[in-house]
Amino acid sequence: MTAAFLAILVGWIAILGAAFGSFFNVVIWRVPEGMSLISPPSHCPKCGARVRPFDNVPVLAWLWLRGRCRDCKAPISARYPFVEFLCCAVAALYGASILVGGWIGFASQTLNWSDFAEYSAAWEAAVAAFEADPTQTTALTFDGYWAAAQKAVALSFVWAFAAYAALILGFVEWDKGAVPKSLVLFAAAVPGVGLLTILTLDGGAFAEHCGVFFASVGLGAASTALFWRAISRSERAEAAALGALWGFCAGCWGAALVAVLLGVATAVRRKTGRNVFGLLVFAAIVALAVGESVWFATR
């Protein structure tokens, strides 16, 4: 019962992640161009034909269209399904990690497998009591499951959005060489909104959450100061936002590592002219999530 429920929940989180990925493709493409996110609706850049709703299914539509526009057969970049797949995988990873082991960050203090096992045990006991005495029906309730499921979905996306923000900044930098202020503000807001979400879910540990949060995010952002002169003026806010995101995911012990990532990104930039800092932060967040999941699973 518990295992099937958790598998369905992770699947649902993964589908939601893929849908976010589909939307972020639009963000990466349109925001730097100053275009509206809503209108015009998705269309082929070559022939202008509108994308049909069933051809908008993340990852799968690109596969059944064989990477070509349904109308004019112009090739569609593999970037689109790639971003959708990454967003799907990140959400599923955080979902599974939070549900099965408990995340080492804030989430481990708010939710883990035993929450569900307890609800499951309570539910099975209620079923047994009902079978013994069919007049006793009041104890049969899914409230505990439902509350824990909502918590799991919300927490998964608190962490997934930190990775998504780094991914968006990374790809926009890769494409355009610069990031609009609106996207930097979005990335900087993610840790703050994330903290508020965590406090809403688990207000009891307020002081603990806030102390770790400000230390981690602050240290991550401050680490970029080491490379202050190597980063161009316009990119300092972006670098600080990416550092804060990394601190949010890695905690204060990992926050200083942002300086290493920025050092690598600076070296790559000197060689290739490309700013890969955002993509490196994204890769680091995913590596951290995989590493901690494996650690929890094998503990």
Q: Quick one: which of 6, 69, 172, 187 contacts Zn ion (CB under 5 A)? A: 69
For residue 75, what is the DSSP state? B
Nearest to Zn ion of 11, 45 (CB atom): 45
Query: Which range binds Zn ion by CB under 5 A, 11-19, 65-73, 162-170, 183-191?
Result: 65-73
Structure tokens at 109: 């203090």
- Each residue 15-54 as x (binds Zn ion by CB under 5 A) or -, in order, gives -----------------------------x-xx-------
For residue 2, count CB atoms less than 10 angstroms from its CB and return exposed for 0-12, middle for 13-18, buried for 19 or more.
middle
Residues touching Zn ion: how many (CB under 5 A)? 7
Output the smallest distance, CB 230 to Zn ion, in A: 43
Q: How many CA atoms lie within 13 A of 195 on its CB side?
A: 21
Nearest to Zn ion of 7, 72 (CB atom): 72
Output the smallest distance, CB 8 to Zn ion, in A: 37
Nearest to Zn ion of 71, 236 (CB atom): 71
Q: Are 109 and 208 in contact (CB under 8 A)?
A: yes
Positions 73 through 92 that interact with Zn ion (CB under 5 A): 74
Nearest to Zn ion of 46, 181 (CB atom): 46
Q: Quick one: which of 12, 26, 71, 174 contacts Zn ion (CB under 5 A)? A: 71
* Helices within the chain (DSSP H only): 2-30, 60-64, 79-100, 113-132, 143-176, 181-201, 206-223, 236-250, 252-255, 257-272, 277-298
Output the smallest distance, CB 81 to Zn ion, in A: 17
Nearest to Zn ion of 63, 72 (CB atom): 72
For residue 15, count CB atoms less than 10 angstroms from its CB and return exposed for 0-12, middle for 13-18, buried for 19 or more.
middle
Nearest to Zn ion of 2, 42 (CB atom): 42
- Please report whether residue 55 would count as binding Zn ion according to CB under 5 A: no
Query: Which range binds Zn ion by CB under 5 A, 69-77, 87-95, 196-204, 220-228?
Result: 69-77
Q: Are 89 and 288 in contact (CB under 8 A)?
A: no
Q: Are 72 and 46 in contact (CB under 8 A)?
A: yes
Positions 203 through 242 that interact with Zn ion (CB under 5 A): none
Q: Quick one: which of 7, 37, 72, 127 contacts Zn ion (CB under 5 A)? A: 72
Q: What is the DSSP string of 160-224?
A: HHHHHHHHHHHHHHHHHSS--HHHHHHHHHHHHHHHHHHHHH-GGGHHHHHHHHHHHHHHHHHHG
Nearest to Zn ion of 52, 274 (CB atom): 52
For residue 80, which amino acid is it?
A: Y
User: Which residues of the chain form contacts with Zn ion (CB under 5 A)?
Assistant: 44, 46-47, 69, 71-72, 74
